[in-house]
Chain A
Amino acid sequence: MTRTRDPAERWRYAAPALVAVVVIAVWQALTAFYDVPQYLVPSPLVVATTLVNDAGLLLASLGVTVSIALAALAIAVTLGVAIALVFVQSRWIETAFTPYVVLLQVTPIVAIAPLIIIWVKDTRLALVLCAVVVAIFPIVSDTTLGLRSVDPRLVDLFRMNRATRWQVLTRLRIPSALPYFFGGLRIASGLALIGAVVAEFVAGTGGQGAGLAYQILMAGIQLNIPRLFAALVLITIAGVVFYGTTVLVSRLALRHWHDSELTR
């Protein structure tokens, strides 16, 4: 709270906001000045109006996409941390399975998504799985790295005090891994949303449970460009909120001790 009084800190929020205001103003001015047709580039004002007029439709779709992304993120975190915990139990397991985790990461989701959608009957579940595949890698790799990045002298200290494997894990490895885990989570939160949107695109699911990607797809086909922009704005905002939330959680968890969150 007191931090925002600091001029430098205030500038951190003011500067990006200023850029946004300038860009939107220039955009509005240009579309008005050159009289650009709406179906090419709608003015910010038109996008805002569409956002309000189509709010019911768009927000429902946003809810679908966000719930898919959140479910995927929750599964990716649970599964990813579990895999990392298994990996650090033995170098052998890590060596044997890491290539397959990497394989999952480097294969483009658009290439696997059709398969997952064919194999999994429930479309919603299929979409969640696609997003999990995209989001899980940073969680696994960062958490594994974190669980291994333990001060060796602290390990010595635990050994001298005859700590059990479980005590070393819960009292030493897991706390040491937290900063790394949050780094992975930050990236995974964005990826979960991207995964959800991409999977929706591939699945092309419409009707009742249509997500934002479907709205974008349909708006594009119908040349309803203002709605396309409005949907885009909503996705972007959702992404920023996802990211901001993970940053906040990380700050709350680490503020007392980790260099990355020191407020000075």
Chain B
Amino acid sequence: MRVAHATKTWPNGTRALDPVDLEVRRGEFLTILGPSGCGKSTLLHLIAGLEAPTAGSLAWWGGPFAATGAPGRRLAMVFQSPTLMPWARVDANVRLPLALQHVPRDDADRAVADAIWLVGLAEFERHWPRELSGGMQMRVSIARALVNRPDLLLMDEPFGALDEFTRQRLDVELAALWRKRELTIVFVTHSIHEAVFLSSRVAVMGPRPGRMIADVEIDEPHPRGEAFRLSTRFAGYAHRLSQLVAQACGGGLADVGAVETAP
């Protein structure tokens, strides 16, 4: 996946993205980090093919968007909210991508059961979404994204609306899924700690207009646990990222609470 010099200007003249270049490598966990309004979500929508760039180009597996969807070139997305169909049970929600592509029933049954099991909801497949907690609904959303074995998984601040405990648990589970399924993930967040904990690489964006500022490798072994969260290396990465974000926002906001976490 390659984004080459893409820009986006909204019809009202707002420049959402200055020319942005980005390359997503197979098998990496790439986090796009930045403050609100820096165009992270816009960039993700471009990658998802939901918006077209005003200028510049994008290439999916070396080709245009029309070439995605074929085996080996599948995209999936997890949104900020679970975005489930309230009128469908958990299994029917997870099945949606397969149903839309007319996957044969037997194959679909297996894939759905597998995806639901992966996110630990095997006992809940016949439940209605409203019977589940926010964290469980998010797991359903993740299962739906995994069900057609995507080659590129896009996540738009998926855990932003969850409480801290649930969020940390889902972070750990997501990292495990990423390794187990050898996924390629582009993850958007404004949480520095989430970015450091999850990613193999962090792309930092700055606001008004949205632009790329830095590209930071998080060169740490997986699985990462509580020990990593508490390590000075973790704090070091976090400090560096918060400084980058602060610089991007203009010197006036230089201190964004990074001092406490500095090693």
Contacts and interface: CB of A to CB of B under 8 A. Distances in A.
Nearest to B156: A153
Given A167-B100, A257-B128, A257-B130, A160 B49 contact: yes
A157 B88 CA distance: 15
Interface string B118-153: 000000000011100000000000000000000000
25 contacts: A151-B83, A153-B83, A154-B83, A156-B77, A156-B79, A157-B77, A157-B79, A157-B96, A158-B100, A160-B76, A160-B77, A161-B69, A161-B96, A171-B85, A171-B99, A175-B85, A175-B88, A256-B87, A256-B128, A257-B86, A257-B128, A257-B130, A258-B86, A258-B87, A262-B130
Interface string B61-91: 0000000010000011101010101111000
Nearest to B48: A160
A159 B100 contact: no
Nearest to A259: B130
Interface in B44-68: 48-50
Nearest to B51: A156
A153 B144 CA distance: 14
Contacts of B85: 154, 171-172, 175
Interface of A: 151, 153-154, 156-163, 167, 171-172, 175, 178, 256-258, 262
Given A153-B79, A153-B83, A159 B97 contact: no
B14 interface: no
Pairs of residues from A and B, 3 with the lowest C-beta to C-beta distance, nearest first: A257-B86, A161-B100, A175-B87
Contacts, number: 53
B40 to A, nearest CB: 16
A172 B83 CA distance: 12
Overall SS of chain A's interface: helix
A8 B69 CA distance: 53
Given A156-B48, A157-B77, A161-B101, 6 more contacts: A158-B100, A161-B100, A162-B101, A256-B130, A257-B87, A257-B128
A149 B48 CA distance: 23
Contacts of B99: 171
Contact of B83 (A157, A163, A258): A157
Interface of B: 48-50, 69, 75-77, 79, 81, 83, 85-88, 96-97, 99-101, 128-130
A257 B90 CA distance: 12
Contacts of A162: 69, 100-101
Given A151-B83, A153-B81, A160 B50 contact: yes
Contacts of B81: 153
A156 B87 contact: no
A156 B101 CA distance: 15
Contacts of B75: 160
Nearest to B79: A153
Contacts of A257: 86-87, 128-130
A175 B85 CA distance: 9
Given A161-B96, A162-B100, A178 B50 contact: no
A178 B87 CA distance: 10
Nearest to A175: B87
A158 B83 CA distance: 11
A181 B164 CA distance: 39
Contacts of A172: 85
A109 B153 CA distance: 58
Nearest to A178: B87
Contacts of B100: 158, 161-163, 167, 171
Contacts of A153: 79, 81, 83
B50 A159 contact: yes
Contacts of A262: 130
A30 to B, nearest CB: 50
Nearest to A163: B100
A246 to B, nearest CB: 19
B15 to A, nearest CB: 22
Contacts of B77: 156-157, 160
A161 B97 contact: yes
A171 B50 CA distance: 20
A76 to B, nearest CB: 24
A162 B130 CA distance: 27
Nearest to A158: B100
Contacts of B130: 256-257, 262
A262 B49 CA distance: 37
A154 B96 CA distance: 11
